[in-house]
Structure 1
Amino acid sequence: MLQKQPRQWWQLGVSRVTVAAFFISVTLLYCLSTLQVTFTPPDLPVPHSCALLPDRQTSQSATANGSQQDSNICVPKVDIMFMKTHKTASSTFLNILFRFGEKHKLKFAFPSSRNDFLYPSPFQHTYVGGLKSGMCFNIMCNHMRFNAPEVAKVLPRDTLYITILRDPAKLFESSFHYFGHIVPLTWRIPGEDKVAEFLRDPSLYFNPDGFNSFYLKNLLFFDFGQDNTLNPDDPRVEESIRLIAERFNLVMLLEHFEESLILLKDMLCWEMNDLLFFKLNSRQENSVSKLTPELRAKALQWNGIDWKLYKQFNLTFWEKVEAYGRERMAKDVTELRRRNAEMVKICIEGGHTVAAVNIHEQAMQPWQPFGERSIRYIFRADWMLWGEG
């Protein structure tokens, strides 16, 4: 028998190795094609806080909001979520936040494009401009439709939640005037007093599925991310109010704005000068519809959920005032008004708001409801405050 030459043995070995490598490669490719591997990195935890505490003088009182270091030191609070509700002077408060944040170089979570977080869509953390996993912010305060789990993905764990409410009848009148022109269902309301005609029989002019209709019914409840078309007696309303009360550390009231600021100062360990404010974007008196007792009752009935919400937090608000001390509150409010009056003399030309028609520089014109010039502004030749209320 002829024996294979060494060259033949080498060629045979190469062939076998090639075939084996081919089958191994095919098998490996098959396994990889069926194996599901996730390469998405895990979310980084939101930091406890991302700001150095501002330099402050030691306060002799301690707060009850978790910012206390010892029994004699009150540490200022800088991590804040302000739920900016519509037509509640929230822009006036926003100016306070902006000044405080700029003074202490805090980080704001701003919308990625518009001046709101894609309202009226429920807030998503992806709406924050430049947000990346693990990033931290101190303050969030632009208009949004509140969505607690998504907000919690953006802000530090110990963030304090604050918002403001307004008497629902007055809020409805203001919202109707301000937004009515962008709610098509109101365009066919006859007569001069469209608010009165609407309240005579809202069902004639309201459709829950109508474009922008949410502006005209329980707008506060809607801003909190809830169903504004529920019956006020629906158990879901009570549950929603309970959840709002659990989430928000302070619910301010427009009708008691100065008292609200004093409570805020006490809770956040701020200074009195941090609270100074000017009222932004007030309306001319002749543009405000006068609500008779009958119309007010109808407005509250139509906005029954907001009325329920307001009454609940009006009760807790005065409980906080009692705990703070009535005499102490009166003294602090007087001091705040005195300092505000001093600032008015320095900062506001003429000491009062200016009608839009008298502001000739286009860049300084306040936003107006479509077809009207009813919003007034505070103005000084060399600088201004901004906002929409």
Structure 2
Amino acid sequence: MVKALRAVFMVVLPSIFVVFAVVVWPWDLEAPWKRFAMFNPGGYSFLDNGDTRGNCTERQNIVFIKTHKVGGTTLATILYRYGYQRDLSFVINRRKDWNGHLRTLSIDKENPGKTLLPPRDREKRRRFKYNICNIHALYDRPVMDSVMENDTFFVILLRDPVSQFESAFDFFHMDQEIKPLKGKSDPLAFFFTNPNFFMAQASKVRRRDLRNNQFYHLRLSWRFYEDDNFIKTTIKRLDAELDLVMILEYFDESLILLKKKMCWTYLDILYVKKNQRIKKTKVTNEVAEEIRKWNKADTMLYDHFKRKLFSEIEQYGPSFYDDLNRFREMQRSVTRQCVNSRKVVSNNGKTFEYGSRRRDDDICQVLTRDTQTWFQKIWQSQLGLPIRPRWI
């Protein structure tokens, strides 16, 4: 009898321990990164949040206003990884199980469940409150405040209007969308011989991408595209409402500011570039000037917040560039160990990403994972399907 009980005990106890370790015991996010120390000449900690005095508290609620062709996929992927590993809830269009975007679709404040996939947590489901929004959605502060948790951080990523416009013009095939541009040797330059005429030839959806698209996502109506005073007033309001405006041309610098404001670690902001274009059009100085004039509202928006970024860097203090160099050393370390030089082409040959150099390594798989795979994991997770461990 004693032997039989002992045998049962020896079989059942390990099983209970395994279940407890996988389901109950919190997943250690630090452990997998410790082995990167050997590739880190500075000996920096990936888990350093810069809080030497113990007076900063990690913030987990964030809205990223994602506009077109500004490098937003890379930032969205950072947020997918961050939220997934912490079981956070994402704002997702319940009718779009391939990307979750809302785009121009509005959320019903009284009944958000008509549009949004329910949050993960039971209490959040009752209140329809979310932690992260990183999909394409027009900025609507009252509505976003109604579905986001309290103390949500609002951020947007802007790009130089010249490179943003060139990227959108190429990515959305405007030379095919606008019939009079077909067959032109330089359709971008030809567009500016009569921009109002050519924009009128595009579909309604694509017209939004042909002028001041970044400000469009912040709800600036086309009626005010030439109204300098209204544009300045709107920029002043946004300056007060937005917690951080990141600049693509200073992406690493922007991430260091985000890290500090959110009390995050270097691990939280590590990235591998996503959705990079294969082909780019060379823009002459003359065409660049035409793009800036045509996108005057975007230019004013970008110039204002670029100046503010430099001001915030100055306010950060003398440690800013030490932190920036530390982060870039970590980036180089992880890239050397994880990123394959072979390009993985997607979007019908328009874009590429880099795959993992080490398919047997969880860390490398996580960092190089494409946005679509992240979204599918989060979609399934938010539907309540068990996926463990959270790290991978």
TM-score tier, shorter chain, comes to 0.7 to 0.9
Instruction: Provide closer, same or farther for how the CA distance between residues 123 and 254 of structure 1 changes in structure 2, counting only shifts above 3 A.
Output: farther
> Does 2:187 align with 1:207?
no
Instruction: Provide closer, same or farther for how the CA distance between residues 55 and 92 of structure 1 changes in structure 2, counting only shifts above 3 A.
Output: closer
2:246 is paired with a residue whose SS is strand
The answer for the alignment partner of 1:363 in structure 2 is: none
Q: Partners of 1:58 and 1:304 in 2: how far apart?
A: 41
**Per-residue deviation at 1:337?**
1.4
**Cα-Cα RMSD:** 2.7
One-letter amino acid of the counterpart of residue 130, structure 1: P
Q: Partners of 1:202 and 1:60 in 2: how far apart?
A: 49
**Per-residue deviation at 1:134?**
1.5
> Does 2:159 align with 1:170?
no
The answer for the alignment partner of 1:328 in structure 2 is: 319
The answer for the alignment partner of 1:143 in structure 2 is: 136
Indicate which of 349, 360, 369 corresponds to 1:385: 369
> Does 2:327 align with 1:344?
no
Instruction: Provide closer, same or farther for how the CA distance between residues 183 and 215 of structure 1 changes in structure 2, counting only shifts above 3 A.
Output: farther
Aligned-residue identity in percent: 25
**Per-residue deviation at 1:61?**
3.9
CA contact (8 A) 2:118 2:128 kept: no
Instruction: Provide closer, same or farther for how the CA distance between residues 192 and 148 of structure 1 changes in structure 2, counting only shifts above 3 A.
Output: same
Instruction: Provide closer, same or farther for how the CA distance between residues 123 and 85 of structure 1 changes in structure 2, counting only shifts above 3 A.
Output: farther
2:240 is paired with a residue whose SS is helix
> Does 2:225 align with 1:249?
no
> Does 2:281 align with 1:289?
yes
1:185-334 matched pairs, under 5 angstroms: 186-190=178-182, 191-207=184-200, 210-212=203-205, 213-284=207-278, 287-325=279-317, 327-334=318-325
Q: Partners of 2:353 and 2:191 in 1: how far apart?
A: 29
CA contact (8 A) 1:58 1:74 kept: no
After TM superposition, what 4+ stretches of structure 1 lie above 3 angstroms from structure 2? 54-62, 121-125, 180-184, 381-384
CA contact (8 A) 2:49 2:259 kept: no
> Does 2:81 align with 1:99?
yes
Higher helix content, 1 or 2:
2
1:300 is paired with a residue whose SS is helix
One-letter amino acid of the counterpart of residue 289, structure 2: A
**Per-residue deviation at 1:124?**
4.6
CA contact (8 A) 1:251 1:317 kept: yes
Larger RCO (alpha carbons 8 Å, 6+ apart): 2
Structure showing greater radius of gyration is 1
**Per-residue deviation at 1:239?**
2.6
> Does 2:118 align with 1:130?
yes
CA contact (8 A) 1:378 1:385 kept: no
CA contact (8 A) 1:172 1:299 kept: yes
Q: Partners of 1:146 and 1:89 in 2: how far apart?
A: 18
In structure 1, runs of 5+ residues without a counterpart are 1-51, 63-70, 357-365
String of CA shifts for 1:53-87, please: whole Å, max 9, x gaps. x999897748xxxxxxxx74211111111111211
Instruction: Provide closer, same or farther for how the CA distance between residues 171 and 85 of structure 1 changes in structure 2, counting only shifts above 3 A.
Output: same
**Per-residue deviation at 1:140?**
1.1
The answer for the alignment partner of 2:63 in structure 1 is: 81
**Per-residue deviation at 1:289?**
1.0
**Per-residue deviation at 1:181?**
4.7
**Per-residue deviation at 1:96?**
1.1
Instruction: Provide closer, same or farther for how the CA distance between residues 59 and 117 of structure 1 changes in structure 2, counting only shifts above 3 A.
Output: closer
String of CA shifts for 1:101-154, please: whole Å, max 9, x gaps. 122222222221222443133455533212655132211111111211111110
Q: Partners of 1:170 and 1:75 in 2: how far apart?
A: 37
2:276 is paired with a residue whose SS is coil
Normalising by structure 1, we get a TM-score of 0.73
In structure 2, runs of 5+ residues without a counterpart are 1-25, 31-46, 120-124, 360-364, 373-392
1:215 is paired with a residue whose SS is coil
One-letter amino acid of the counterpart of residue 120, structure 1: T
